[in-house]
């Protein structure tokens, strides 16, 4: 085998993007860490949750916690899952640009930070909901609020944000532990993946539900995995990249355009 023929070289992400008619991106927490948003499931995240709040994140962010100790839920949630200063990183920006060029059919994300929309992506499927559209849980109310409203402590009663119309709790529209994922989002994600000829999975080890199950809907030509650590599907991928997601996309986009 000689290095000069190039016949055995793996395709580059830019090549695959250029050849694809229907690319779908599936991203996890690792896509947002480059925007400075820490992964609460990381070792540091787990440790600080137990040290400072007395429970692991799966307990703090559960529907049971919201129902039985909402003040602790909102303390942890507002102190750890919301970062108003976070900005889209080169991965978010490249994905939005690729969509504009007609080369990105859908972005599926497990993140709740809204950074894909902030970058300009239109077709974003949010599997775990979003920080940006809190709502009142009051029966027959359903009032929608802004994130600013939820964070404004003048609306808080006993440590819990409340609705100015009916006085009920205002909660984030995110899927908590112990809650079902949204059927529409799951259906849209499965459909997008099943129709894709190129699927790029990034920033997830595919260990968190429902990532691995959704990816199994893929029957297209090329699967690309971008993650710092090995994933369950590395053996099935046509291209495995261990570099930071932002750098990988900035580079690929440059090559596709030139
Ligand atoms: Zn209300």
Task: Express each pLDDT in 13-49 by its tens digit.
Answer: 999 999 999 999 999 999 999 999 988 888 888 888 9
Domains for the chain: give ranges and CATH numbers.
Answer: 1-36+88-128+180-258 (3.40.50.1220)
Ligand 1 centroid to 216 CA: how many Å?
40
* Predicted confidence (pLDDT) at residue 6 exceeds the cutoff of 60: no
Q: How far apart are CA 152 and CA 36, in angstroms?
A: 23
How much of the chain exceeds pLDDT 70, in percent? 95
Active site residue 116: no
Q: How does residue 257 score in pLDDT terms, banded at 50, 70 and 90?
A: low
CA of 111 to the centre of ligand 1 (A): 26
pLDDT of 158 > 90? The answer is yes
Q: Is residue 80 scored above 60 in pLDDT?
A: yes
Distance between CA atoms of residues 62 and 95, nearest Å:
31
Flag whether pLDDT at 1 surpasses 60: no
Cα of 160 vs centre of ligand 1, distance in Å, is 13
**Residue 198 in this model has a pLDDT that exceeds 70:** yes
Give the mean pLDDT of the chain: 92
Whole-structure pTM value = 0.93
Question: What is the reported pLDDT for 184?
Answer: 96
Name the residue among 76, 74, 143, 86 with its Cα closest to residue 115: 86
Does residue 7 carry a pLDDT above 70?
A: no
Of the candidates 68, 116, 128, 155, the residue annotated as catalytic is: 128
């Amino acid at each position: 085998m000689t290095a000069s023929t190039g016949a055995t070289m793996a395709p580059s992400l830019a090549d695959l993007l250029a050849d694809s008619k229907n690319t779908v991106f599936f991203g996890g927490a690792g896509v947002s860490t480059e925007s400075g948003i820490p992964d609460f499931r990381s070792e540091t995240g787990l440790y600080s949750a137990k040290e400072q709040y007395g429970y692991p994140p799966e307990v703090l962010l559960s529907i049971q916690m919201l129902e039985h100790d909402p003040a602790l839920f909102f303390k942890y949630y507002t102190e750890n899952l919301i970062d108003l200063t976070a900005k889209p990183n080169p991965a978010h920006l490249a994905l939005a640009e690729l969509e504009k060029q007609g080369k990105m059919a859908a972005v599926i994300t497990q993140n709740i930070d809204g950074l894909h929309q902030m970058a300009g992506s239109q077709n974003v499927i949010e599997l775990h909901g979003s920080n940006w559209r809190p709502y009142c849980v009051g029966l027959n109310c359903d009032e929608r609020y802004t994130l600013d409203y939820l964070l404004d402590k003048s609306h808080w009663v006993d440590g819990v944000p409340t609705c100015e119309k009916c006085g009920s709790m205002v909660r984030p529209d995110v899927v908590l532990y112990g809650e079902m994922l949204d059927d529409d989002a799951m259906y849209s994600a499965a459909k997008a993946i099943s129709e894709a000829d190129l699927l790029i999975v990034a920033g997830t080890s595919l260990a968190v539900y429902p990532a691995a199950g959704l990816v199994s809907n893929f029957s297209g030509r090329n699967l690309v995995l971008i993650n710092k650590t090995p994933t369950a599907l590395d053996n099935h991928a046509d291209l495995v990249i261990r570099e930071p997601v932002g750098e990988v996309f900035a580079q690929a986009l440059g090559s596709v355009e030139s």
